[in-house]
Structure 1
Amino acid sequence: MKLWTCVLLLCAAAVCVTCEQPPSDEDWLELDTPQGPVRGRRDPDADHLYVFYNIPYATAPVGKDKYKPPLPAPVWKTPFDAVDKHVKCPQMMNNNFVPMNLVEKEDCLIANVYVPDARKKNLSVLVYVHGGGFIMGYGNLFKFKQFLKTKDIILVTFNYRLGVNGFLCLGTEGAPGNAGMKDQVALLRWVQKNIASYGGNPDDVTIAGFSAGSASVELLMLSKSAEGLFHRVIPESGGSLAVFSIQRDPLEIAKTFAKLLNFTNVDDTNALEEFYKTAPLELLNSYLSTESYDSNFLFSPCIERETANDAFLTESPLSILQKGSYRKLPVLYGFANMEGLVRIYYFEDWKHKMNEKFSDFLPADLTFKSDDEKHEVADKIKKFYFGNKPVGNDNILGFVDYFSDVFITTSMLRAVKLYAETGNNQVYLYEYSYVDEDIPTVPHTNVRGADHCAQTYAVMDGIDILNQNEDLASAGRLVMKKKVRQLWHNFIKTGKPVPEGSSLPAWPAAGAGRAPYMSLGQDVALHHAPLLETRTRFWEDIYQKYSREPIPPPATSAQSRHEL
Structure 2
Amino acid sequence: MLAAAGVLLLTACGTPATQAGPAAPPAAAGGGEGAAPVVRTASGQVRGTAQDGLRRFRGIPFAAPPVGDRRWRPPQPATAWTGTRDATRSGPVCEQPASPELPRGTPRSEDCLTLDITAPAGPATNRPVLVWVPGGGFLTGAGSIHDPARLVRAGELVVVTVNYRVGVFGFLAHPDLGRSSNFGLQDQLAALRWVRANIARFGGDPGAVTLAGESAGAMSTCSLMTSPAARGLFRRAIVQSGSCLTGHPAGALGPGVGAVSSWQPIGTVQGTGRALAERLSCTGVACLRKVPADQLLPYTAQFPMVAYGTGLLPAEPAAVFAAGKEAAVPLLQGNTRDEHVEFALAAYPGGRTAAEYSAALRTAFGAAAPRVERRYPAGDFPSPIAALGRVFSDRDWICPTGESGRLHARTSPTYTYVFADPTAPTTSGRPLPGTVRPATAHGSELGYLFDFPDGPALTTEQRALAGQLVGYWARFARTGDPNGPGAPAWPRFGAHATALTFGADSVRTVDLNAAHHCGLWF
Classify the TM-score, shorter chain.
0.7 to 0.9
Do the aligned residues in 2 keep the contact of 1:60 with 1:109 (CA within 8 Å)? yes
Instruction: Give the 5 Å matches for 1:232-243.
Output: 232-243=236-247
TM-score normalised according to structure 2 size: 0.82
Distance 1:494 1:202, change over 3 A: same
Q: 1:339 Cα deviation (Å)? A: 0.9
**Which residue of structure 2 lines up, in the alignment, with residue 516 of structure 1?**
498
Q: 1:384 Cα deviation (Å)? A: 5.5
Do the aligned residues in 2 keep the contact of 1:139 with 1:158 (CA within 8 Å)? yes
Matched, 1:248 2:230: no
Distance 1:300 1:360, change over 3 A: farther
Q: 1:85 Cα deviation (Å)? A: 4.4
How many corresponding residue pairs? 480
Letter in 2 for 1:488: W
The match for 1:206 among 205, 210, 214 is 210
Post-superposition CA distance 1:450-489 (Å, at most 9, x none): 2112222211237xx764434xx1x321211111111111
**Which residue of structure 2 lines up, in the alignment, with residue 17 of structure 1?**
none
The match for 1:71 among 69, 76, 89 is 76
Q: Distance between the aligned counterparts of 2:167 and 2:415, measured in 1?
A: 31
**Which residue of structure 1 lines up, in the alignment, with residue 462 of structure 2?**
477
Unmatched 5+ residue regions in structure 2? 12-31, 248-259
Q: Distance between the aligned counterparts of 1:279 and 1:76, measured in 2?
A: 29
Q: 1:241 Cα deviation (Å)? A: 1.7
Matched, 1:539 2:492: no
Instruction: Give the 5 Å matches for 1:47-196.
Output: 47-92=52-97, 94-150=98-154, 152-170=156-174, 172-173=176-177, 176-196=180-200
Distance 1:245 1:214, change over 3 A: farther
**Which residue of structure 2 lines up, in the alignment, with residue 228 of structure 1?**
232
Q: Distance between the aligned counterparts of 1:2 and 1:432, measured in 2?
A: 18
Q: 1:203 Cα deviation (Å)? A: 1.0
**Which residue of structure 2 lines up, in the alignment, with residue 423 of structure 1?**
411
**Which residue of structure 2 lines up, in the alignment, with residue 504 of structure 1?**
487
Percent of paired sites with the same residue: 27
Do the aligned residues in 1 keep the contact of 2:424 with 2:440 (CA within 8 Å)? no
Distance 1:257 1:66, change over 3 A: closer
The match for 2:294 among 251, 262, 282 is 282
Q: CA RMSD in A?
A: 3.5
Q: Secondary structure at the match of 1:282?
A: helix
**Which residue of structure 1 lines up, in the alignment, with residue 43 of structure 2?**
35
Instruction: Give the 5 Å matches for 1:312-461.
Output: 312-343=312-343, 344-349=345-350, 351=352, 358=360, 362=364, 375-376=366-367, 379-380=369-370, 383=373, 387=377, 394-420=383-409, 422-424=410-412, 426-436=413-423, 443-444=434-435, 447-461=437-451
Q: Secondary structure at the match of 2:209?
A: strand
Do the aligned residues in 1 keep the contact of 2:424 with 2:462 (CA within 8 Å)? no
Letter in 1 for 2:457: N
Greater Cα offset, 232-241 or 166-175: 166-175
Do the aligned residues in 2 keep the contact of 1:385 with 1:402 (CA within 8 Å)? no
Q: Secondary structure at the match of 1:485?
A: helix
**Which residue of structure 2 lines up, in the alignment, with residue 554 of structure 1?**
none
Q: 1:151 Cα deviation (Å)? A: 6.9
Greater Cα offset, 60-69 or 162-171: 60-69
Greater Cα offset, 273-282 or 313-322: 273-282
Distance 1:416 1:322, change over 3 A: same
Q: Distance between the aligned counterparts of 2:58 and 2:179, measured in 1?
A: 30
TM-score normalised according to structure 1 size: 0.76
Q: 1:402 Cα deviation (Å)? A: 2.6
Unmatched 5+ residue regions in structure 1? 11-23, 290-296, 306-310, 363-373, 541-564
Distance 1:359 1:517, change over 3 A: closer
Q: Distance between the aligned counterparts of 2:58 and 2:415, measured in 1?
A: 33
Q: Distance between the aligned counterparts of 2:10 and 2:193, measured in 1?
A: 32
Q: 1:413 Cα deviation (Å)? A: 1.6
Q: Distance between the aligned counterparts of 1:179 and 1:490, measured in 2?
A: 32
Q: 1:257 Cα deviation (Å)? A: 6.9
Letter in 2 for 1:315: A
Post-superposition CA distance 1:346-379 (Å, at most 9, x none): 43336379669748964xxxxxxxxxxx8546x4
Q: Distance between the aligned counterparts of 1:76 and 1:441, measured in 2?
A: 48
Letter in 1 for 2:61: P
Post-superposition CA distance 1:170-204 (Å, at most 9, x none): 35436711111010000000000000111111111
Q: Distance between the aligned counterparts of 1:151 and 1:490, measured in 2?
A: 6
Q: Distance between the aligned counterparts of 2:424 and 2:94, measured in 1?
A: 37
Letter in 1 for 2:389: V
Do the aligned residues in 2 keep the contact of 1:330 with 1:495 (CA within 8 Å)? yes
Q: Distance between the aligned counterparts of 1:60 and 1:357, measured in 2?
A: 49
**Which residue of structure 1 lines up, in the alignment, with residue 21 of structure 2?**
none
Letter in 2 for 1:299: P
Do the aligned residues in 2 keep the contact of 1:227 with 1:327 (CA within 8 Å)? yes
Do the aligned residues in 1 keep the contact of 2:174 with 2:269 (CA within 8 Å)? no
Do the aligned residues in 2 keep the contact of 1:215 with 1:245 (CA within 8 Å)? no
Q: Secondary structure at the match of 1:334?
A: strand
Q: 1:263 Cα deviation (Å)? A: 1.2
Letter in 2 for 1:508: P
Q: Distance between the aligned counterparts of 1:257 and 1:100, measured in 2?
A: 30
Q: 1:275 Cα deviation (Å)? A: 5.8
Q: Distance between the aligned counterparts of 2:464 and 2:391, measured in 1?
A: 31
Q: 1:101 Cα deviation (Å)? A: 2.0
Post-superposition CA distance 1:235-264 (Å, at most 9, x none): 111111222663324544554577579718
Letter in 2 for 1:33: T
Q: 1:33 Cα deviation (Å)? A: 2.4
Do the aligned residues in 2 keep the contact of 1:168 with 1:299 (CA within 8 Å)? no
